[in-house]
């Protein structure tokens, strides 16, 4: 792609959005198959582009973990292509009739799903997001403008060209997928203010990126992914189950947004539960930040916890622990510190389970299961563009339906008021 302004990208996308919106399921699926095939056929070219990014990363002393996120391999490219092929088998969402009814005057009204139009994605240095996000937008009939991090720029250019050429070869407009060719703060800001051209902007990345986008955007934004998730262990809980759920939420993949960051334990069961929990978490050397009651039971291995701990998304092998006197105290704590992502109660009490699910305000509220299940794949959506932690439009894992809006189709025979 040439280096053209963000405004021009918006104009290019708007010029073809109607074609994408009207594209048949077969046309879109053929294009997705062409993209998957091209990713495999052009693996060497993609790896060569990726090598340039890695070389720059090494020269800039990027951390090994970050370099690994940037790295593409033949296996990883095959995995990306597989992800694209999986989209083909998902049910078509455009045109789905959500509701249909006939009014007393004979008007037939159908509420149908239609694409949003043009979607902007701002993301950091994972080149797989370039393809994952673009193809999910395409499957839902949208155009996409991608603005990836500068660390993955060479990879992103190559991947975008592969997708654009595959689109064109399969008869859909190449401008359905565009990349911002100037990965600077200025271009990110321009995208945030591209009113009239972007129907929604989705930031994918860390809390810092998301905050900047939410605070600065004039286009509609869907906020994703900050998760300060809690497990509350009720006095009636199955304590072995509580240990498993906390351990899974904390240690199975600590860097993700649905990992557990704080545990609230009813004081009546703390003396029994805490030693069991510590023994399990010690297998992963989890550091505990606890209240006075926790320290009184577990001793000096507990680092004293303060407000900052309860507000922290550690994304690491660290866990805050607080003893509480009641379900009400637990829910008040969650209301104060939670980020409305995923919250869990472990209990045998029907009354407490129902109160927790009714009164806790979050995208996903669990009874007796790990918060790690808040995920499009685990929910059975087949694909996911992120997890919304806002209340408007989409909440929780966002699949294809969340990349669409609705349109009312009204058919009459001359009705007037």
Q: Which residue, 35 or 137, is less far from a copy of itself as judged by CB? A: 137
Q: Contacting a copy of itself (CB under 8 A), which of 107, 271, 279, 301? A: 107
Q: Measured from the CB of residue 227, what is the shortest distance to a copy of itself in angstroms?
A: 14
Q: Is 145 in the site for a copy of itself (CB under 8 A)?
A: no
Site string for a copy of itself, 12-51 (x = CB under 8 A): ------x--xx-----------------------------
Q: Is 405 in the site for a copy of itself (CB under 8 A)?
A: yes
Cβ burial of 324 (10 Å; 0-12, 13-18, 19+) is: buried
Residues 227-246 that bind a copy of itself (CB under 8 A): 238, 241, 244-245
**CA dist., res. 10 & res. 1, Å (int):** 14
Residue found by looking up tokens 């045109």 in the block: 95
Q: Measured from the CB of residue 357, what is the shortest distance to a copy of itself in angstroms?
A: 5
Q: Is 11 in the site for a copy of itself (CB under 8 A)?
A: no
Alpha helices in 140-221 (DSSP H): 153-169, 185-192, 207-216
**CA dist., res. 19 & res. 23, Å (int):** 6
Q: Which residue, 184 or 411, is less far from a copy of itself as judged by CB? A: 411
Sign of the Cα pseudo-torsion (272, 275, 276, 278, in order): positive
Q: Contacting a copy of itself (CB under 8 A), which of 395, 398, 399, 400? A: 395
Contact 97, 112 (CB under 8 A): yes
Q: Contacting a copy of itself (CB under 8 A), which of 96, 318, 357, 382? A: 357
Contact 205, 122 (CB under 8 A): yes
CA distances from 327 to 40, 301, 333, 370 (A): 53, 27, 10, 19
Biggest CA–CA distance in the chain, Å, is 80
What does the block give as tokens for 209?
């990126």
Q: Is 8 in the site for a copy of itself (CB under 8 A)?
A: no
Q: Measured from the CB of residue 52, what is the shortest distance to a copy of itself in angstroms?
A: 36
Q: Which residue, 170 or 247, is less far from a copy of itself as judged by CB? A: 247
Compute how many residues bind a copy of itself; rule: CB under 8 A. Answer: 63
Q: Contacting a copy of itself (CB under 8 A), which of 53, 175, 199, 313? A: 199
Closest Cα to residue 83, out of 49, 44, 131?
A: 131
Rounded to a whole number, what is the distance in angstroms from the first to the last CA of the chain?
A: 52
Q: Which residue, 113 or 164, is less far from a copy of itself as judged by CB? A: 113
Q: Which residue, 50 or 374, is less far from a copy of itself as judged by CB? A: 374
Q: Contacting a copy of itself (CB under 8 A), which of 396, 398, 399, 400? A: 396
Q: Measured from the CB of residue 296, what is the shortest distance to a copy of itself in angstroms?
A: 28
Q: Measured from the CB of residue 218, what is the shortest distance to a copy of itself in angstroms?
A: 7
Q: Which residue, 299 or 380, is less far from a copy of itself as judged by CB? A: 380
Q: Is 86 in the site for a copy of itself (CB under 8 A)?
A: no
Residues 245-304 that bind a copy of itself (CB under 8 A): 245, 247-248, 252
Q: Is 408 in the site for a copy of itself (CB under 8 A)?
A: yes
Q: Is 80 in the site for a copy of itself (CB under 8 A)?
A: no
**CA dist., res. 123 & res. 130, Å (int):** 8
Q: Is 407 in the site for a copy of itself (CB under 8 A)?
A: yes
CB under 8 Å to 141, separation ≥6 — which residues? 20, 21, 23, 28, 94, 114, 115, 404
Contact 190, 37 (CB under 8 A): no
Q: How many residues does the chain have?
A: 417
Contact 197, 118 (CB under 8 A): yes
Q: Is 92 in the site for a copy of itself (CB under 8 A)?
A: no
Q: Measured from the CB of residue 334, what is the shortest distance to a copy of itself in angstroms?
A: 11
**DSSP per-residue letters across 251-272:** HS-TTSTTSEEEEEEEHHHHHH
Q: Is 266 helix (H, G, I), strand (E, B) or coil?
A: strand
Q: Is 193 in the site for a copy of itself (CB under 8 A)?
A: no
Contact 263, 321 (CB under 8 A): yes
CB neighbours of residue 334 within 10 Å? 25
Strand-pair partners of 397: 387
Q: Is 225 in the site for a copy of itself (CB under 8 A)?
A: no
Residue found by looking up tokens 């059975």 in the block: 380
Residue numbers of the site for a copy of itself (CB under 8 A)?
Answer: 18, 21-22, 101, 103, 107, 109, 114, 116-117, 199-200, 215, 218, 220, 222, 238, 241, 244-245, 247-248, 252, 335, 353, 357-359, 361-370, 372-374, 378-380, 390-393, 395-396, 405-417
């Amino acid at each position: 792609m040439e280096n053209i302004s963000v405004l021009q990208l918006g104009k290019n996308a708007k010029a073809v959005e109607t074609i994408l919106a009207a594209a048949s399921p077969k046309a879109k699926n053929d294009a997705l198959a062409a993209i998957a095939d091209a990713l495999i056929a052009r693996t060497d070219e993609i790896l060569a582009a990726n090598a340039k990014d890695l070389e720059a990363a090494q020269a800039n002393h990027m951390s090994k973990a970050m370099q690994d996120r940037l790295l593409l391999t033949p296996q990883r490219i095959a995995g990306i292509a597989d992800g694209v092929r999986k989209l083909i088998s998902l049910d078509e969402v455009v045109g789905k009739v959500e509701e249909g009814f006939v009014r007393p005057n004979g008007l037939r009204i159908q509420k149908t799903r239609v694409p949003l139009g043009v979607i902007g994605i701002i993301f950091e240095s994972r080149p797989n997001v370039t393809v994952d996000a673009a193809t999910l937008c395409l499957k839902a009939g949208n155009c996409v403008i991608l603005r990836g991090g500068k660390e993955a720029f060479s990879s992103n250019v190559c991947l975008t060209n592969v997708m654009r050429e595959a689109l064109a070869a399969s008869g859909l407009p190449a401008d359905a997928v565009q990349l911002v060719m100037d990965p600077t703060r200025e271009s990110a800001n321009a995208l945030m203010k591209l009113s009239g051209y972007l129907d929604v902007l989705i930031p994918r990345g860390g809390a810092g990126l998301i905050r900047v986008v939410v605070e600065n955007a004039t286009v509609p934004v869907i906020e994703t992914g900050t998760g300060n998730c809690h497990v509350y262990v009720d006095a009636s809980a199955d304590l072995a189950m509580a240990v498993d759920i906390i351990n899974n939420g904390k240690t199975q993949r600590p860097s993700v947004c649905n990992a557990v960051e704080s545990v609230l334990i009813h004081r009546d069961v703390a003396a029994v539960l805490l030693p069991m929990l510590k023994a399990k978490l010690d297998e992963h050397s989890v550091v505990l930040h606890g209240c006075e009651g926790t320290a009184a039971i577990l001793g000096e291995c507990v680092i004293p916890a303060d407000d900052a701990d309860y507000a922290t998304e550690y994304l690491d092998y660290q866990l805050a622990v607080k003893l509480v006197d009641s379900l009400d105290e637990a829910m008040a704590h969650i209301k104060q510190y939670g980020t409305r992502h995923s919250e869990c109660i472990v209990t045998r009490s029907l009354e407490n389970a129902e109160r927790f699910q009714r009164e806790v305000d979050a995208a996903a509220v669990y009874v007796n299961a790990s918060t790690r299940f808040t995920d499009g794949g685990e929910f059975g959506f087949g694909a996911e563009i992120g997890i919304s932690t806002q209340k408007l439009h989409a909440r929780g894992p966002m699949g294809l339906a969340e990349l669409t809006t609705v349109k009312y189709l009204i058919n009459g025979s001359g009705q007037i008021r």
